[in-house]
C-alpha cells in the first residue's frame, strides 16, 4: 500500500506507511485493522488519525468481540424511549416522566488506582445519564474484590486487598457524595477470583420529563460545537485502550500516568449547567466525553446526524499547551461534554455556562458531507469519514468452544456437604454465626455507611433496607425500584443457567419491594475473548440473558461489556485459573405507583406470620456461598429456575404490597434461609421462630440457594387475603413461622441469639477489610 | 414566613432544604451565592453539600461569596440563620459561630441516622420541638468532628449554646463533648452537622423527626425577634 | 516573580487522626523509628509582589484564607525553581 496522501499534512503529523503500521501495532491495531484504516482513508493515516482509530476501534470503545452476540438482546417495548446504542436506556414510567438508567464497569482503572478508578467510574456513568436529558437521582454499586480474610502473596496479600477495597469504597463515596446523588444499594462480594481484577460496576438512574429526552436528531449544518467543562490534559491518554484492553502485568507503576482524575465538584456544576440548557431548549445535540474524549464525541455526533464536522483544536482549553494534537483528541480528561447549539443560541449557551462557572469554548461547526476535519495551528491534522471512526470499526465473530473443564463441574457431589455441627451434633449455631460473618454474607453497612443515601430527598429504601433500592420521583407519589445483582460462581458453573438465575434474582428483588419490573440493563464482565472458552461463556450467557429478559418482560435497554478481566499474577498454569468468574451483573428497574407502600427487608412486628412464597426448597448448594465458605471445589448442577413461576410470584408480591398486606419481604438467595433470616432479624432488631413445614435435608433447608423463594411477613389479619392472592396466581405459600423474641430459631435445628447474629453480621466486613481500625456499627473507632 | 436557601457552587441539599421549609409551612426562596441581598426573606438556611468541592477547607471559599456580607448583616440584626453540615462549616469559617469542624475521628465519611437531643428549645430553629428527644436524624459528613478550645467549650456550655448533642456513647465523629450543633451568643444563628431537611417526611428513609424544626420556624414569629435571654 | 511555599499543619494541641493512623501503620512497614507524625497541606504560588509587601501579602493571605487560625498554623518561605515540590515530576 503506497498511496500518497491526497491532502498535505504538517510534517509532524505525516507518517510513512511502514512507520504508521508499526505505530498502529504498538497502539493495539491488528494488521488487518490497520489495512481497514488505510482503506477508509484512501491513504496512510496521520499521527492524529492513527491515535483516534486505535482508541475508537479498541475493544472498550467498539465492542468488536461482543457486538455480533449483543444483537441477540434486542427487544422492543412501547415503554422504551431509547435503547441499546444510546448513552443510556430510557423508559417511560408514566405521569409524563421518563427514567434513564445504565450500568458501566471501571474494573481495570480501579485496580491500577482504586480511588480515582472508582471515582471516575461514578462520574462517567452519571454523564451517560444526564447526556440523555435526565437528572441523576440514584447510583448503585456492584463491587467484587479478592478475599481479604486470607493472607496470600503479592496482590493476594491481605494488605493489598484491603487497600483496593478501601480505595474503591472511598472513591465511589468520594465522588457520589460530592456530586450529590444518593447511593441506594448494590452488592459487595469477596472472592479470590477477583484478587487481581476487582470488578467495579456502577449503575446510575436519572429522571426527566419525557419531552426533555435528548436524542441527537435536531442537528443542522451550521450548528456550533461547544466544549463544556474541564480543561483537556494528558489524563488517561490512550487509557481506554491501554488500560481497558490489555491484560495486567507487573508494571503497574508505569501505567499510573494514564489514570484519569475525577473532579466531582466540576461534575455537579456541569450537571446543573446541562439541565438548564435542556430546560431552555438551547441544544441541538449533546455527547459526553469518555474514552477517546474529543475524537469520540465529535465523530459520534457527526455520524449520528449523517453530517460532517470541522473542529479547531486550538480552541480547546488545554491544561498543558504543549500537548500534541493526538493527545488532545485522545485525552480522557473527565467532566467534559460536547454540545451542539444553533448559531443564534451560542451566546445564551455561553452565558448559562458562565453562570455555573463551567468553562466553555466554541470548537467547531457541523458541516455538510460526512467528513470529520480537525485543525491545529491553522493546518489540517485529520480528515476522515466520521462514520468510519464511530460506527464502522471491525467486528469479530470469535471462535467459541465449550471449555473442557465444564465437564468436571457436573460430576462434583455438591448437595451432600459435611456441615460442621449438623452431622456430628456439634455446635451448629457457632458454625452458622461464623458463616454469617463471612464478608460476602455479612451486612455491608461498612461500605454504604460511607455513602450519602439521602440527598435529593427521595430515598424510600436505601442500601440494605430492602431487596431493591426505592426512590420516590420528584413531584410524584410514584417511585422507581432498582436491583443490581451478579453471581460469578453460578455463571462459571453454568453460564446459561447461572445467567438466568441472576436475571431472575434481580427481577425478584425488584418485585419484593412491591414494584413492577419493567426493564433491564447489564454489565458483562468476562475474561479474554480471544480464548474460545471465554467467548463461549460470553455468548452462552448473552443468549440466556436475552431469553430470560424476554420471558420476564424486562427488555434490555443497553449495557456495557468489560472483557480481558484476567490476570496471570496468580502464577497458576491451569487454564481455569486465569480468568475471573464470568460475571454478568444485571440491573432491573421497576415502577411502584405509591412509593410510600414499598416493602423493606426488616421484620417489623412481634406476632407477624412468616410465609415462604414460591417454590419449595430444592437442592441448591452447587456454587453456593456455603460451598465457597467450606473451601470446597466449585461444582454441582444448578437446578433450573422456573421463570413463569418467578413472573407469577412478582404479581403476587406487587398486589400484596399495594394492598398493604406485607410488613417485610426478602428473597432467599446467597447463604440460603439462614442468611435471609439474619438480614431481616438484625435490620428489624427482632427475632423469628421458624417451624419448617418441609421434610428436607437440614443442610438444604438452611443453606440451599434454589431460586424462586421469598420470605414475607404479614400481620395475622392479612393472612387470608395473602392466601387468596397466592391461590389466584397459582403461587404456592407455606406458613413457616412467627416474628418475635430475641432468637433466630429454626425448630429442631438451630437457635441463635439475635445479639450474636447482629455482632457477626455487622462486624464481618469491617473486621475483614478495615486495615488498621475496626469501626463499630455506630461509627465509633475501636483502636 | 419566607425562608431563603442559599445555593453555593457545590451545594447539594439546597433542593431538600427548600422542600423542607415548604413542608414546614413556610415559603421557600432560592438565593444565589453571587447575589448581594437576601430578597427580603425572614430566615436564611446555608444548606449541606460540598461548596467549592470542599477544596482548601470545608466552607473556606464559600464564606467569601458575595451573599455572605448580607448574611452577616442579617445575622447581626438578629435574623435567624441556620447552617446545616457544610452550612455549619461555612458559618464557623465565617466566624458567625465558634469553633471548627475537623476530619471525623474514624477518618471515614459517616452516613447513617443518629440520635440527637435538643438541648435548647428557644431558638427559632428548635422552638418547634415539644421535648428534648432523642430525635432521629441522618448524618452524612467526612469532616464533622466539632472542635473548639476548652475555654470556648466551657463558655458554650455556660451560656447554654450547645443546641444539639449526640447521645453519650454514640458520638459518630469524635466531636468535643458530643456536640452536634451550637448557636451564637444571641441564639439566632445555629449550626448543626446532621441533616434535618432529610427528616421531614415519614414516607422516606430519613423519617420525620425534624419536621418540628421547620414547622417551628414557620410558625408565627415577631420579625427578627431578639433571642438573647 | 517570587514563588512562595506555605506549609499548613493542624495546631499541635489538635488531634490529627490522619497523622495518628500513619504513625500506627509505619512500624508495620518496618519504620518503627518514626514518631510524632502530622499530616498537613503544602501550597505553592507565584506572587507578583516583592520586598516588605511580600511578607504582608503572604501573611494576610495565609491568615485570612489559606488557613483557619482556629485549628491550623503555618510557615512560609520563598523557594527556588528546584525547590518546587513537583520539581522532579
| Exposure on the CB side of residue A552, measured as CA atoms within 13 A | 36
- Cα separation, A541 vs A657, whole angstroms: 32
- Which one of B33, B119, B145, B195 is the catalytic residue? B195
Look at residue C29 and tell me if it is in a domain. yes
| Exposure on the CB side of residue B208, measured as CA atoms within 13 A | 13
Identify the residue with better confidence: A22 or A177. Answer: A177
| Exposure on the CB side of residue B67, measured as CA atoms within 13 A | 22
CATH of the domain at B64: 3.40.50.880
pLDDT band at A26 (very low <50, low <70, confident <90, very high): confident
Q: What is the pLDDT of residue A240?
A: 37
Contact between B56 and C66 using a beta-carbon 8 Å cutoff: yes
Region of A689 on the Ramachandran plot (φ > 0 left; ψ -120 to 50 alpha; else beta): beta
Q: Which residues of A touch C25 (CB under 8 A)?
A: 771-772
Q: C37 vs chain A: nearest CA distance in angstroms?
A: 16
Q: Which residues of A touch B16 (CB under 8 A)?
A: 454-457
Contact A287, A309 (CB under 8 A): no
Contact A460, B205 (CB under 8 A): yes
Domain that holds residue B113: 2-218
Q: B225 vs chain A: nearest CA distance in angstroms?
A: 31
A69 classed as catalytic: no
Helix (H, G, I), strand (E, B) or coil at B60: coil
For A214-254, write each residue's pLDDT tens digit.
876 668 999 999 999 999 988 776 543 333 333 344 444 34
Q: Is the pLDDT of residue B228 over 90?
A: no
CATH of the domain at C51: 3.30.1280.10
CA dihedral (A313, A314, A315, A320) positive or negative: positive
**A480 DSSP β-pair partners:** A471, A591
Name the DSSP letter for residue A148: T
- Check CB contact of B213 with chain C, cutoff 8 Å: no
Neighbours of chain A (3+ CB pairs under 8 A): B, C
Which of the residues B9, B205, B206 would you substitute to probe the A interface, choosing the one with the greatest number of A C-beta atoms within 10 Å? Answer: B205
Look at residue C44 and tell me if it is in a domain. yes
For A457-494, write each residue's pLDDT tens digit.
999 999 999 999 999 999 999 999 999 999 999 999 99
- Check CB contact of B56 with chain C, cutoff 8 Å: yes
Neighbours of chain B (3+ CB pairs under 8 A): A, C
Which residues have a Cβ under 8 Å from the Cβ of C71 and sit 6 or more positions away?
Answer: B100, B102, B147, C10, C11, C14
Of B57, B107, B147, the CB nearest to C14: B147
Helices and strands counted in chain C (H then E) = 2, 3
Task: Locate A563 and state its grid cell.
Answer: 472483557
- Which one of A69, A106, A108, A579 is the catalytic residue? A106
Lowest mean pLDDT among A61-75, A85-99, C72-86: A61-75
What domain count does chain B have? Answer: 1
Q: A759 vs chain C: nearest CA distance in angstroms?
A: 25
Q: What is the pLDDT of residue C25?
A: 78
Q: Is the pLDDT of residue A369 over 90?
A: yes
First to last CA, chain B: 23
Q: Is the pLDDT of residue A322 over 70?
A: yes
Q: Domains of chain A, with CATH numbers?
A: 1-74 (no CATH), 168-199+404-771 (3.30.1330.10), 222-367 (3.90.650.10)
Q: What is the pLDDT of residue A704?
A: 96
Angle at A461 between CA B135 and CA B171, to 5 degrees: 35
- Smallest CA-to-CA distance from B122 within B54, B190, B57 is with B190
- Which one of B93, B119, B143, B197 is the catalytic residue? B197
Helix (H, G, I), strand (E, B) or coil at A714: strand
Report phi then psi at A274, rounded to 5.
-65, -40
- Check CB contact of A357 with chain B, cutoff 8 Å: yes
Q: Is the pLDDT of residue A119 over 60?
A: yes
Neighbours of chain C (3+ CB pairs under 8 A): A, B
Look at residue C88 and tell me if it is in a domain. no
pLDDT band at A571 (very low <50, low <70, confident <90, very high): low
Domain that holds residue C22: 3-83
- Cα separation, A53 vs A32, whole angstroms: 13
Q: Is the pLDDT of residue A367 over 90?
A: yes
Which of the residues C15, C18, C19, C21 would you substitute to probe the A interface, choosing the one with the greatest number of A C-beta atoms within 10 Å? Answer: C21
Q: What is the pLDDT of residue A1?
A: 41
Cis peptide before A250 (omega within 30 of 0): no
For B99-129, write each residue's pLDDT tens digit.
999 999 998 999 999 999 999 999 999 999 9
Q: Which residues of C touch A772 (CB under 8 A)?
A: 21, 24-25
What domain count does chain C have? Answer: 1
Helix (H, G, I), strand (E, B) or coil at A380: strand
Which helix (H) or strand (E) is C45 found in, with range? strand C41-46
Lowest mean pLDDT among A258-262, A393-397, B176-180, C68-72: A258-262
Mean pLDDT (chain A) is: 90
Give ipTM to 2 decimals: 0.94
For A389-424, write each residue's pLDDT tens digit.
988 889 999 999 999 999 999 888 888 887 877 766
Burial class (CB in 10 A: 0-12, 13-18, 19+), B95: exposed
For B164-217, write each residue's pLDDT tens digit.
999 999 999 999 999 999 999 999 999 999 999 999 999 999 999 999 999 999
- Which one of B33, B85, B92, B198 is the catalytic residue? B85
B85 classed as catalytic: yes
Q: What is the pLDDT of residue A518?
A: 97
- Check CB contact of A11 with chain C, cutoff 8 Å: no
- Cα separation, A74 vs A392, whole angstroms: 20
Look at residue C89 and tell me if it is in a domain. no
B and C: number of Cβ contacts within 8 A: 32
For C8-56, write each residue's pLDDT tens digit.
999 888 888 888 878 887 887 788 899 999 999 999 999 999 888 999 9
- Smallest CA-to-CA distance from A213 within A279, A125, A270 is with A279
Angle at A433 between CA A145 and CA A639, to 5 degrees: 65
Amino acid at each position: 500500500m503506497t498511496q500518497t496522501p491526497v491532502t498535505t499534512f504538517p510534517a509532524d503529523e505525516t507518517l510513512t506507511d511502514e512507520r504508521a503500521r508499526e505505530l498502529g501495532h504498538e497502539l493495539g491495531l491488528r494488521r488487518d485493522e490497520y489495512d481497514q484504516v488505510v482503506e477508509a482513508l484512501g491513504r496512510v493515516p496521520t499521527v492524529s488519525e492513527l491515535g483516534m482509530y486505535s482508541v475508537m476501534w479498541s475493544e472498550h470503545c467498539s465492542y468488536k468481540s461482543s457486538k455480533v452476540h449483543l444483537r441477540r438482546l434486542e427487544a422492543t417495548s412501547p415503554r422504551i424511549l431509547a435503547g441499546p446504542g444510546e448513552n443510556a436506556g430510557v423508559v417511560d414510567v408514566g405521569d409524563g416522566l421518563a427514567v434513564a438508567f445504565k450500568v458501566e464497569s471501571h474494573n481495570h482503572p480501579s485496580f491500577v488506582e482504586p480511588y480515582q478508578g472508582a471515582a471516575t467510574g461514578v462520574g462517567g456513568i452519571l454523564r451517560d445519564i444526564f447526556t440523555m436529558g435526565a437528572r441523576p437521582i440514584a447510583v448503585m454499586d456492584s463491587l467484587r474484590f479478592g478475599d481479604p480474610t486470607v493472607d496470600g502473596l503479592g496482590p493476594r496479600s491481605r494488605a493489598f486487598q484491603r487497600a483496593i477495597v478501601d480505595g474503591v469504597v472511598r472513591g465511589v463515596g468520594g465522588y457520589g457524595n460530592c456530586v450529590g446523588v444518593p447511593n441506594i444499594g448494590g452488592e459487595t462480594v469477596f472472592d479470590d477470583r477477583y484478587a487481581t481484577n476487582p470488578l467495579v460496576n456502577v449503575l446510575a438512574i436519572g429522571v426527566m420529563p419525557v419531552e426533555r429526552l435528548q436524542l441527537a436528531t435536531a442537528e443542522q449544518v451550521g450548528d456550533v460545537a461547544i466544549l463544556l467543562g474541564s480543561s483537556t490534559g494528558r489524563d488517561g491518554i490512550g487509557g481506554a485502550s491501554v488500560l481497558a484492553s490489555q491484560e495486567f502485568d507487573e508494571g503497574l507503576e508505569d501505567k499510573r500516568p494514564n489514570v484519569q482524575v475525577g473532579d466531582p465538584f466540576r461534575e455537579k456544576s456541569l450537571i446543573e449547567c446541562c439541565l438548564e440548557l435542556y430546560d431552555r431548549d438551547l441544544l441541538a445535540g449533546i455527547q459526553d466525553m469518555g474514552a477517546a474524549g474529543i475524537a469520540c464525541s465529535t465523530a459520534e455526533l457527526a455520524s449520528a446526524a449523517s453530517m460532517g464536522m470541522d473542529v479547531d483544536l486550538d480552541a480547546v482549553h488545554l491544561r498543558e499547551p504543549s500537548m500534541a494534537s493526538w493527545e488532545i483528541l485522545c485525552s480522557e480528561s473527565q467532566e467534559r461534554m460536547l454540545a451542539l447549539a444553533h448559531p443564534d443560541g451560542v451566546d445564551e449557551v455561553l452565558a448559562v455556562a458562565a453562570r455555573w462557572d463551567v468553562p466553555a469554548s466554541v470548537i467547531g461547526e457541523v458541516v455538510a458531507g460526512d467528513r470529520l476535519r480537525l485543525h491545529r495551528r491553522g493546518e489540517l491534522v485529520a480528515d476522515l469519514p466520521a462514520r468510519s471512526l464511530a460506527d464502522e470499526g471491525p467486528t469479530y465473530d470469535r471462535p467459541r468452544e465449550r471449555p473442557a473443564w465444564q465437564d468436571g463441574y457436573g460430576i462434583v457431589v455438591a448437595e451432600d456437604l459435611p456441615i460442621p455441627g449438623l452431622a456430628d451434633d456439634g455446635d451448629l449455631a457457632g458454625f452458622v454465626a461464623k458463616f454469617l460473618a463471612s464478608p460476602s454474607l455479612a451486612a455491608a453497612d461498612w461500605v454504604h455507611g460511607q455513602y450519602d443515601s439521602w440527598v435529593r430527598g427521595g430515598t424510600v429504601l436505601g442500601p440494605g433496607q430492602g431487596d431493591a433500592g426505592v426512590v420516590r420521583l420528584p413531584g410524584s407519589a410514584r417511585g422507581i425500584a432498582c436491583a443490581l445483582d451478579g453471581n460469578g460462581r453460578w455463571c462459571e458453573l453454568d453460564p446459561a443457567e447461572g445467567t438466568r438465575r441472576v436475571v431472575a434474582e434481580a427481577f425478584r428483588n425488584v418485585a419484593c419491594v412491591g414494584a413492577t419490573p419493567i426493564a433491564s440493563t447489564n454489565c458483562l464482565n468476562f475474561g479474554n475473548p480471544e480464548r474460545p472458552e471465554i467467548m463461549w461463556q460470553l455468548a452462552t450467557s448473552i443468549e440466556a440473558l436475552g431469553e430470560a429478559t424476554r420471558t420476564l418482560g424486562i427488555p434490555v435497554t443497553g449495557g456495557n461489556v468489560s472483557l480481558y478481566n484476567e490476570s496471570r499474577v496468580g502464577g497458576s498454569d491451569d487454564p481455569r485459573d486465569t480468568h475471573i468468574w464470568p460475571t454478568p451483573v444485571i440491573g432491573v428497574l421497576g415502577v411502584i405507583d405509591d412509593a410510600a407502600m414499598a416493602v423493606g427487608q426488616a421484620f417489623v412486628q412481634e406476632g407477624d406470620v412468616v410465609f415462604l412464597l414460591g417454590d419449595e426448597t430444592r437442592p441448591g448448594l452447587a456454587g453456593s456461598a456455603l460451598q465457597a465458605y467450606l473451601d470446597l471445589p466449585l461444582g454441582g448442577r444448578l437446578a433450573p429456575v422456573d421463570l413463569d413461576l418467578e413472573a407469577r410470584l412478582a404479581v403476587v408480591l406487587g398486589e400484596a404490597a399495594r394492598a398493604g398486606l406485607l410488613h417485610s419481604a426478602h428473597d432467599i438467595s446467597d447463604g440460603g434461609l439462614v442468611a435471609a433470616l439474619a438480614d431481616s432479624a438484625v435490620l428489624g432488631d427482632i427475632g423469628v421462630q421458624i417451624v419448617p413445614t418441609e421434610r428436607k435435608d437440614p443442610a438444604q433447608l438452611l443453606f440451599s440457594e434454589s431460586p424462586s423463594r421469598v420470605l414475607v411477613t404479614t400481620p395475622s389479619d392479612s393472612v387470608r387475603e395473602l392466601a387468596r392472592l397466592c391461590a389466584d396466581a397459582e403461587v404456592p405459600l407455606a406458613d413457616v413461622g412467627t416474628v418475635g423474641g430475641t432468637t433466630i430459631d429454626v425448630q429442631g435445628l438451630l437457635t441463635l441469639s439475635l445479639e450474636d447474629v447482629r455482632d457477626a453480621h455487622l462486624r464481618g466486613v469491617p473486621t475483614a477489610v478495615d486495615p488498621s481500625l475496626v469501626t463499630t456499627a455506630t461509627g465509633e473507632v475501636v483502636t | 414566613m419566607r425562608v431563603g436557601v442559599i445555593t453555593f457552587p457545590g451545594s447539594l441539599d439546597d433542593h431538600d432544604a427548600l422542600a423542607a421549609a415548604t413542608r414546614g409551612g413556610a415559603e421557600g426562596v432560592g438565593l444565589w451565592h453571587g447575589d448581594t441581598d437576601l430578597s427580603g426573606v425572614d430566615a436564611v438556611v446555608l444548606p449541606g453539600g460540598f461548596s467549592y468541592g470542599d477544596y482548601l477547607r470545608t466552607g473556606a471559599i464559600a464564606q467569601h461569596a458575595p451573599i455572605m456580607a448580607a448574611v452577616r448583616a442579617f445575622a447581626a440584626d438578629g435574623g435567624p440563620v441556620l447552617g446545616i453540615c457544610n452550612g455549619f462549616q461555612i458559618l464557623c469559617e465565617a466566624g458567625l459561630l465558634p469553633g471548627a469542624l475537623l476530619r471525623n475521628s474514624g477518618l471515614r465519611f459517616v452516613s447513617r441516622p443518629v440520635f440527637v437531643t435538643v438541648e435548647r428549645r428557644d431558638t427559632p430553629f428548635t422552638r418547634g420541638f415539644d421535648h428534648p428527644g432523642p430525635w432521629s436524624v441522618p448524618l452524612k459528613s467526612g469532616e464533622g468532628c466539632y472542635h473548639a478550645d476548652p475555654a470556648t467549650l466551657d463558655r458554650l456550655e455556660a451560656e447554654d449554646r450547645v443546641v444539639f448533642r449526640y447521645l453519650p456513647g454514640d458520638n459518630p465523629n469524635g466531636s468535643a463533648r458530643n456536640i452536634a450543633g451550637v448557636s451564637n451568643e444571641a441564639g439566632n444563628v445555629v449550626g448543626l452537622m446532621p441533616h434535618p431537611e432529610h427528616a421531614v417526611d415519614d414516607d422516606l428513609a430519613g423519617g420525620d423527626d425534624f419536621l418540628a424544626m421547620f414547622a417551628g420556624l414557620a410558625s408565627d414569629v415577631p420579625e427578627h425577634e431578639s433571642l438573647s435571654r | 516573580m517570587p514563588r512562595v511555599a506555605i506549609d499548613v499543619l493542624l495546631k499541635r494541641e489538635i488531634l490529627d487522626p490522619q497523622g495518628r493512623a500513619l504513625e500506627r501503620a509505619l512500624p508495620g512497614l518496618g519504620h518503627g523509628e518514626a514518631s510524632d507524625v502530622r499530616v498537613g497541606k503544602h501550597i505553592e504560588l507565584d506572587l507578583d509582589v516583592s520586598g516588605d509587601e511580600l511578607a504582608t501579602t503572604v501573611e494576610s493571605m495565609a491568615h485570612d484564607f489559606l488557613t483557619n487560625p482556629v485549628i491550623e498554623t503555618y510557615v512560609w518561605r520563598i523557594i527556588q525553581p528546584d525547590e518546587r515540590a513537583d520539581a522532579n515530576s
